Amino acid sequence: MFLIFLSCIHRKNMYQTLTFYHSFFRWLVLISLLFAIYRGAKGLMKKSAFGRNDNLIRHWTATIAHIQLIIGITLYSQSPPVKYFWANKTEAIKKLDVTFFALIHMMLMMTAIAVITVGSALAKRRLSNEAKFKTMLIWFVVALLIIFIAIPWPFSPLANRPYWR
């Protein structure tokens, strides 16, 4: 219902609307992860207390990733390359651009979001300030690396999409 509403505002179809939001949310995912990593490294080096703001940043980084996951799954059900892949598996598997979205992008991104989820939950449960910062830092860095590889950047050797829709 909400998506139909957004499609109307954009005067575009559902697929274009989803692609726009999915492309836009990539930047929010990256910015929030980078900021959380910065806070993790700073807190660890300065041996500071894991305060309310650090906790909010941890929480929102995971939430933004989860929103992107929901948009991604919805887009997966609408995407022409993905539909083509599942309808023509033997032919499509030879085409990197199609296989990238149907399998590689989906699996890597789901792994990265699982890493963010586990890292965030573990950091929340750690008892010392140092352990909280360290857990957040390590798990979020791993997720960022996976996400960076799996984004279809204009310069990616796997698949290319614009920086902005």
Binding site for ligand HEM (CB under 6 A): 19, 22-23, 26, 29, 65, 68-69, 72-73, 75-76, 79-82, 101, 105-106, 109-110, 112-113, 147, 151-152, 161-162, 165
Which residue of this chain has its Cβ atom nearest to ligand HEM in the complex? 72
Q: Residue 8 contacts by C-beta under 8 Å, 6 or more apart in sequence?
A: none
- Taking the complex as a whole, the smallest distance from the CB of residue 25 to ligand HEM amounts, in Å, to 7
C-alpha distances in angstroms, 112 versus 28, 116, 156? 15, 6, 18
CB of 165 to ligand HEM, least distance (A): 5
State the nearest-atom distance from the C-beta of 161 to ligand HEM, in Å. 4
Which C-beta is closer to ligand HEM: that of 98 or that of 137? 98
Q: Closer to ligand HEM at the Cβ: 32 or 135? A: 32
CA atoms lying within 13 Å on the CB side of residue 33: 27
Nearer residue to ligand HEM within complex by CB, 126 or 161:
161
Least CB distance to ligand HEM at residue 121 (A):
17
79/135 with CB nearer ligand HEM: 79
Rounded least distance, CB 62 to ligand HEM, Å? 11
Distances (CA, A) of 13 to 21, 23, 77, 163: 13, 16, 14, 20
Kindly tell me which of 103 and 131 has the beta carbon lying closer to ligand HEM: 103
